[in-house]
Amino acid sequence: MTMTYQPPSLIGASNATVNNAFLPPIKYARAAGSVMKYDYKSSKPKKQVKEMLKILWPEKKTFLKMPLGFKFNTRDRCVVCGTHKVWESSDPSRPPMPLHKVRKGYPMRGTYCNKHSQLHKQYEMLEQQIIADEHGLSFSAYIPKPTVPKILQSAPLTSLRQSDIEALSASGWTIRPPQMSVETPEDELFRLTMESHAINNRVISLMTTGTSIIRQSLTEESLEQQIDNVFLEGVE
């Protein structure tokens, strides 16, 4: 007697788990279908882990109501729903090798489909969040943020902080407050204080960078000559 080989069935066949909208949430998540995000029934993290383990647990095979290995433990088949899936080695969404107890156990010959690969990532994120909470860390701090180009970050400045004014003044910039139509003595005092503070920061910056100071000695003759020159310029 000759026996013909029955190839693994694809989605929708008799021995594959078919999707049905009227299934319970866990069975609906275990069935083959499009990529989805599972909504937890419980608010406690440990119970959420149990729900994800029930979803990702490999489908068992029974004989006379007795467990007999796993149903879809063959190459290129989802160990949960039986969908045929061939992953490329360069695919970034390629799932890890399934274990027969999800988080531990021996590796299986099958794989995960697109739907259960996404659910496995959701389970890994949940595990990382629980570990971060146990050690008092913020899980959101470790989520990579998209980088914004510098062109989008830069914009015209309308206000400056005191640290910005000090840094720009030390670099040689001259910063003055906006001129008012009517300047009160208090406004003038504030403007002069800011200008003198900026000049002092520039002087300190020049002195700390090793600028050489040339001392000039004035004699009586040179002083009288400078006074005469100023007087002659004024007469002309």
Task: State the Cα torsion 36-131-107-39 to the nearest 10°.
Answer: -20
List Cα–Cα distances, 203 to 167, 172, 207, 210, 212, in angstroms.
13, 10, 6, 11, 12
The tokens of 83 are what? Answer: 């969908």
* CA–CA gap between residue 133 and residue 91 (Å, rounded): 31
Asked if 19 and 31 count as a contact pair (C-beta separation under 8 A), the reply is: yes
* CA–CA gap between residue 198 and residue 201 (Å, rounded): 5
Checking if the pLDDT of 106 tops 60, the result is: yes
Q: What is the pLDDT of residue 89?
A: 85
Mean pLDDT of 135-152: 63
The tokens of 210 are what? Answer: 């090793």
Residue bearing tokens 């990532």 = 121
Residue bearing tokens 């914004």 = 148
- Average pLDDT across the chain, whole number: 76
Q: Which of 66-75, 94-103, 197-206 has the lowest mean pLDDT?
A: 197-206
* CA–CA gap between residue 46 and residue 103 (Å, rounded): 14
Half-sphere exposure of 94 (CA within 13 A, CB side): 10
* CA–CA gap between residue 129 and residue 139 (Å, rounded): 6
Checking if the pLDDT of 103 tops 80, the result is: yes
192-223 pLDDT, tens per residue?
787 777 777 777 777 777 666 555 555 556 65
Checking if the pLDDT of 51 tops 90, the result is: yes
Enumerate the domain spans of the chain: 25-142, 160-210
Q: Which of 76-90, 134-148, 165-179, 196-210 has the lowest mean pLDDT?
A: 134-148
Confidence of residue 78 (pLDDT cuts 50, 70, 90): very high
Q: What is the pLDDT of residue 122?
A: 92
Confidence of residue 50 (pLDDT cuts 50, 70, 90): very high
**Strand partners of residue 111:** 78
Checking if the pLDDT of 41 tops 70, the result is: yes
Checking if the pLDDT of 55 tops 70, the result is: yes
List Cα–Cα distances, 78 to 56, 69, 97, 233, in angstroms.
10, 15, 11, 98
**Of 196 and 10, more confident:** 196
Asked if 169 and 176 count as a contact pair (C-beta separation under 8 A), the reply is: no
